[in-house]
Structures are given as C-alpha cells and as structure tokens.
Amino acid sequence: MSPMPATQLKADPEQEALEWFSRLRQPGCDERERQAFARWCQAPLNAHAYAELEACWQQLQVPAARPRPRVFSARRGHMGKVLALLFLSGLALLAYLYWPLMQRLASELHTDAGERRSLRLADGSTLHLDSASAMNVDLRGRTRLLHLVQGQVYLEVMLDGRAMEVQVDDARIQVFGTRLMVARHADHDELVVLNGKAMILQGGDQRMVSAGERVTFTDARINPVEKADVKAADAWRTGQLHASNMPLGQVIERLASYQGRRVWLMDEQTAYRRVSGDFNLDRPGETLDALAAAQHLQLHGVLGQWLIVQ
C-alpha cells in the first residue's frame, strides 16, 4: 500500500521551523539535508523562529533531577513572588499544551491531527498510523522493536524469521501473528489481535491474546482478555468511528482529537452516557455539532486547544 500524501508545508517560518525540528532528528538525516537547513536559516525570520523553538524544547527537556534555580529570594517583595509564580504557571501551561506536539515531532514516524498515513518499513511490514500518532522503529537487531509513543497503529507484520516487539511505556507486546492494533487512550492502552497471537508483559504480569480478542492495560495492571469487535476496532482506517453502547465522553474525545483539541467536560456524568452510531472522523467538526445537538450539549472552543462541553 502506498503512503498517503503528506501535508504540504506552509510558507510560514514557525511552521517550517517545526518541520525542520522534526527532520533534523530523523535517523536518516544526512549532511545534504543539514546544508539545506543552514541555507534556510540564512533568512533572519527563519533563524529567529527556529531559535525560539529550540529554547522552548530546552525548557521542556530540563532533567527532573537537576536542582531548580531559585527564582526569587526572600528579600524580594511580594510583587516579585507573584510575577515569578505567574511565569512558572505560564511555562507549565505551555508545556502541557504543546508537549504532545513536541513529542510527536521528535519521533521518527508521526502524523498530524486529522491525518492518517500508511508506511511500508524496510522489512516489508506496513504501519497504518491514525491521527496524531507517533512511533519509533528499530529494525536492526535480531528482535525488531517498535515503540508507540502516541495515538494508534494498525500493524501488518511481514514474517522474516526475526521476533518483533511493540513497546508501550513499560509494557511489552511480543508479536506472534501478522495483524494487530495497538492504541493509546487518555486513561488506558489497548491491544487488539486480528490474526495470530500476541503476548503482553508488564512487570510480573502477562496475558496471551488470540485473534478476535482484545485487552486493555494501564501502568498498574493488565485487565482480563475480552472478545473484540473487530469491525469497530478497524473502522478508523476508513474514517469512521463505530460506537456500540460506547461512553459519550470517549466518542467526544475521539472526534476532538481529530481537530487537535482536548476535551473538558463540565458535567462528569455526561461522560458516562452510552451512545451508539457511526461517526465521521474525516468531518469531526460537523459530526461533533450534530452529536452535541442530539445530546443537548453546548460546545465552546478555547484557543484552538480546548473543547469545553457543558
């Protein structure tokens, strides 16, 4: 399957800086590409945009073990403390809002919000990446290693005599089949096996998952194996979300993620309403409006980053 066309670059220094930031961290980046980057930086606006991006990245990458500098001393007045607190709060907010984007751009393979892409790896395997997904791939060793950083991936494995593992945080998935799907959600992760088998291991716990089965897991535990709705699990590859008695909050979050937005539900009970139906992921704005009208909800967008539901 040939890759879907990538999003075209905009003639905008900030957007181009993000693209260069990602490309320079790719394993295949060579001297020729670095020379092209140097020519791009000759434009003052470009150089300024990239310098600001690097500064933001350095702020986010400060090691946790490094002692924090004292922002203010006991001799400074109350106003200095307030300003320092506001600065730190603003920095924390920026890190929270833009960390997922920075994390995707620093990964080897990634998609933007609303974009799906199919990629054929060097071993012949094919990855189908969902919207706002990111992966790192290492095919050099006797065990092929894939690391799902964000989002969702449908994997078609080419058997070449070597083992394959998919890492999701501390969990490891040993692949014994040829088709499976791994997804990262807000409060849990999920493995669905469509062909063959896969073993998930985390700490001292493990589960064997066979074709037609699924399992969810968190940092603390692996849940029991369940029967999977294969048709619903695979629907996103054709731009559809098939919901069968699904929590309303999960449906809203899924649609909002295709717009690159996070959801804030004002009424927590709303999240637990159950809904069924087919929802168009390729037209998330219209689909969200129709869903909100049917559920008597109001939607409010904030700064292009948040979707407040009440």
Asked if 133 contacts 153 with a C-beta cutoff of 8 angstroms, the reply is: yes
Q: Which residue has the higher pLDDT, 105 or 168?
A: 168
Question: Strands across the sheet with 126-129, in order?
Answer: 117-120, 126-129, 152-156, 179-184, 189-195, 213-217, 226-227
The pLDDT value recorded for residue 28 is: 64
Question: Strands across the sheet with 299-302, in order?
Answer: 262-265, 306-309, 299-302
The domains located in the chain, with CATH, are: 13-106 (no CATH), 114-229 (2.60.120.1440), 239-309 (3.55.50.30)
The pLDDT value recorded for residue 199 is: 96
- Return the SS3 of 59: helix
Mean pLDDT of 275-286: 92
**Of 50, 57, 63, 59, which Cα lies nearest the Cα of 103?**
57
The pLDDT value recorded for residue 263 is: 84
Q: Is the pLDDT of residue 190 over 70?
A: yes
**Of 1, 42, 41, which Cα lies nearest the Cα of 17?**
41
pLDDT band at 157 (very low <50, low <70, confident <90, very high): very high
* pTM for this prediction: 0.67
Residue showing tokens 């012949």:
124
**Of 308, 302, 258, which Cα lies nearest the Cα of 283?**
258
According to DSSP H, which parts of the chain are helical? 13-23, 31-41, 44-60, 78-105, 230-234, 248-257, 284-294
The pLDDT value recorded for residue 62 is: 47
**Of 259, 232, 256, which Cα lies nearest the Cα of 245?**
232
In DSSP notation, 157-211 reads PPP-SSEEEEEETTEEEEE-SSEEEEEE-SS-EEEEEEESEEEEEETTEEEEEET
pLDDT digits (tens, 9 = 90+) for 124-144: 999 999 998 999 999 999 999
Q: β-strand 189-195 against 213-217: which pairing, if any?
A: antiparallel
The pLDDT value recorded for residue 182 is: 96
pLDDT band at 35 (very low <50, low <70, confident <90, very high): confident
The pLDDT value recorded for residue 67 is: 47
Q: Is the pLDDT of residue 247 over 60?
A: yes
Mean pLDDT lowest among 98-102, 125-129, 232-236, 247-251: 98-102
